Amino acid sequence: MKLMNGVHRAALAISGGRLGWTLGSMPALELHTTGRVSGIQRSTMLTAPVHGDGRWIVVASKGGDDRDPLWYRNLQAHPDASITVRGRTVNVHTHTASPAEKAELWPQIVAANSRYAEYQTKTTRDIPVVVCEEY
């Protein structure tokens, strides 16, 4: 995952931001969080399979790993974050989708990228869906 993030950032840097803001039909974004233990700013590249009107949905799949990604754990401790989309950075408040919200969002997420359904079959962990809302 760290290697993929590095390659993604390199593509953005080398292209001057012209390439790398989409992966397939999904927009890419850079999520900026505060480390839950260190307090240090952290960032990671993610995709937003569902988005619009100042709202981005990200999936804490970690490729179907049995552990939550560190960025998700950081958001649990510090739900205010920021995201950069196509070079524009905005502040967001985040929350883990409730079971009802996830039931509504999951079909849209899987329609955008069927790999998310595959990731869920790899783990017994209920993969969290995170709602990021601009403020």
Domain interval for residue 110: 22-134
Q: Is residue 2 part of a domain?
A: no
Amino acid making up residue 16? G
Model pLDDT, residue 100: 98
CB 117 within 8 A of CB 127: no
Q: Is residue 100 part of a domain?
A: yes
Q: How far apart are CA 124 and CA 73, in angstroms?
A: 18
Q: Is residue 37 part of a domain?
A: yes
Q: How far is CA 30 from CA 19, 53, 88, in A?
A: 14, 18, 10
Q: Is residue 107 part of a domain?
A: yes
How many domains does the chain fold into? 1
Model pLDDT, residue 28: 86
Model pLDDT, residue 16: 60
Q: Is residue 9 part of a domain?
A: no
| Nearest residue to 34 (alpha-carbon basis) of 74, 1, 67 | 74
Q: Is residue 14 part of a domain?
A: no
Q: Is residue 51 part of a domain?
A: yes
Q: Is residue 88 part of a domain?
A: yes
CATH of the domain at 84: 2.30.110.10
Residue 40 has a CB neighbour count (10 Å cut-off) of 9
CB 55 within 8 A of CB 90: no
Per-10-residue mean pLDDT of the chain, 135 residues long, equals: 60 60 76 97 92 96 96 98 92 98 98 95 97 97
